[in-house]
Structure formats: structure tokens, C-alpha cells
């Protein structure tokens, strides 16, 4: 078994966001990977109008999933659920999905399908440049209140992302065909728990944890235990 982690929106360096949970898994003999998402500017092409979008993210994650002929659990965080819905579809090696404070889109739905009429207060949208980002001053209290020792490192990994990813619909829904567990983060201030529970209604199994938006950083042991329980 191996684990592939797909990070959320407006950040870079998936291995860093996943490193605490990865260390616990490695101590149990489980390998993991965290592919770069082109729409976040991680592959050398700047995000923005005409820049990489959802299709590029899907291709990057699907390429990682096809790299090894090994049973795989895919972990999708936040926006990662949009990517994984398509990227993990139809692959026999993908045995389970774990969605963390994330989305389970039907075919034809996009990130905007789950959004309100305007951007969340922690987001900065630059329509002219075609990018979206998290306001750095909101990171600590909105997303990382339970792991404050990592805020500086996390701030350095914020990224502008192509705004187009909010409108691009998915063309497959892997969660409809693969056993799917949803981890509700009860203390998440970015995506409130009650909203997560609405998303989780589409999953087969729902687990709740008293954690903020990044439980794999704040509480890596319970997240790793949950993953190992899927094996």
C-alpha cells in the first residue's frame, strides 16, 4: 500500500504540508507521495490567465497514480477533492479515497458549484491577472489555529493559483466508484463543519476529528491511524 496526497488551493509544496503524516506512515512502512499541482505554479509555468488549470492538475495527479502498480489510498485536501474526482477515476490501483475538508463533485460540477455568491473573506481574487490567493494575514486564525508553530513555514508556501480552476467542471467522479471516507474537521474555520457534513453526505463513511483545516499537520497520528485502518 502507498498513499498519494493531493494538497488544497493556493499553496505549494505538497510534501511539506503532508510531512508530519508522512513521517508517521513511513515509521509503519507505508510510502507516500504528494504531486505538484501546475495551477499553483509548481511546475515552472506561472499561474494566471492562460496558465495551467484543472486539466493540468488532473494530469499531474493521474501521472503519479499511474507511476506505481501498487494498491493506493488517495488523500484529497480541500480543492484536492476536485482534482481527485477526475484523476483517480478508472484506475484499478486506487483502492480507497480519503477526503479531508474537501469536495465530492458530480460530473459537470466545479469548485464554484460549492461556493457562495462572492469570494470568502480570506481569499484575494485578481480578476485581471486571472489568479486567486489566500490573504496571508488570515492564515493563522482561519486555517492553522491548532498548529501555530508552523504558521511562518506555511506562509512561505502560499501561492497564487489560476482563477480558472474555480469554473472548470470535472468529467468524472471517482468517489462514486471507489470506497470513500470523509474526514470532517470539527474546528475548521475556513470550511465550517456543518458545511463539510453536507459534502460528506455523498461519502460512504464519515469520521469526525476535533481539528482545524490541516489535521495532517496538527494531529498527524490520528490521520495516519485512519489511513492505516483503510488498508
Q: Whole-prediction pTM value?
A: 0.97
Q: Which domains does the chain have, with CATH numbers?
A: 2-229 (3.40.50.1820)
Whether pLDDT at 206 is above 70: yes
Whether pLDDT at 162 is above 80: yes
73 Cβ contact list (under 8 Å, min separation 6):
1, 2, 3, 4, 94, 95, 96, 97, 98, 227, 230, 231
Contact yes or no for 95/71 (Cβ under 8 A): yes
Percent of the chain with pLDDT over 90: 97
- What is the reported pLDDT for 72? 98
Whether pLDDT at 81 is above 70: yes
CA dist., res. 158 & res. 201, Å (int)? 30
CA dist., res. 81 & res. 103, Å (int)? 5
Q: How confident is the model at residue 204 (pLDDT cuts 50, 70, 90)?
A: very high
What is the overall mean pLDDT for the chain? 97
Contact yes or no for 222/198 (Cβ under 8 A): no
Q: What is the mean pLDDT of residues 172-198?
A: 97
- What is the reported pLDDT for 116? 83
What residues does 91 pair with on adjacent strands? none
What residues does 94 pair with on adjacent strands? 72
Whether pLDDT at 164 is above 90: yes
- What is the reported pLDDT for 231? 61
Q: What is the mean pLDDT of residues 62-82?
A: 97
Q: How confident is the model at residue 118 (pLDDT cuts 50, 70, 90)?
A: confident
Based on the number of CB atoms within 10 Å of its own CB, is 121 exposed (0-12), middle (13-18) or buried (19 or more)?
Answer: exposed
Amino acid at each position: 500500500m502507498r498513499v498519494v496526497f493531493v494538497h488544497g488551493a493556493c499553496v505549494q509544496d505538497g510534501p511539506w504540508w503532508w510531512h508530519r503524516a508522512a513521517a508517521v506512515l513511513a515509521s509503519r512502512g507505508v510510502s507516500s507521495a504528494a504531486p505538484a499541482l501546475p495551477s499553483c505554479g509548481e511546475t515552472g509555468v506561472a499561474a494566471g490567465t492562460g496558465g495551467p488549470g484543472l486539466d493540468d492538475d488532473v494530469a499531474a495527479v493521474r501521472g503519479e497514480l499511474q507511476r506505481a502498480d501498487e494498491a493506493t489510498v488517495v488523500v484529497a485536501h480541500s480543492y484536492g477533492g476536485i482534482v481527485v474526482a477526475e484523476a483517480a477515476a478508472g484506475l484499478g490501483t486506487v483502492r480507497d479515497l480519503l477526503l479531508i475538508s474537501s469536495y465530492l463533485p458530480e460530473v459537470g460540477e466545479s469548485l464554484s458549484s460549492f461556493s457562495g455568491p462572492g469570494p470568502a473573506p480570506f481569499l484575494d481574487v485578481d480578476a485581471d491577472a486571472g489568479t486567486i490567493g489566500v490573504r496571508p494575514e488570515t492564515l493563522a486564525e482561519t486555517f492553522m489555529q491548532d498548529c501555530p508553530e508552523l504558521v511562518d513555514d506555511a506562509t512561505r508556501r502560499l501561492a497564487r493559483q489560476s482563477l480558472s480552476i474555480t469554473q472548470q467542471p470535472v468529467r468524472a467522479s471517482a468517489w462514486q466508484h471507489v470506497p470513500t471516507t470523509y474526514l470532517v474537521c470539527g474546528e475548521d474555520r475556513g470550511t465550517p463543519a456543518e458545511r463539510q457534513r453536507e459534502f460528506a453526505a455523498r461519502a460512504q463513511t464519515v469520521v469526525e476529528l476535533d481539528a482545524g483545516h490541516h489535521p495532517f499537520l496538527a494531529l498527524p497520528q490520528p490521520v495516519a491511524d485512519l489511513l492505516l485502518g483503510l488498508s
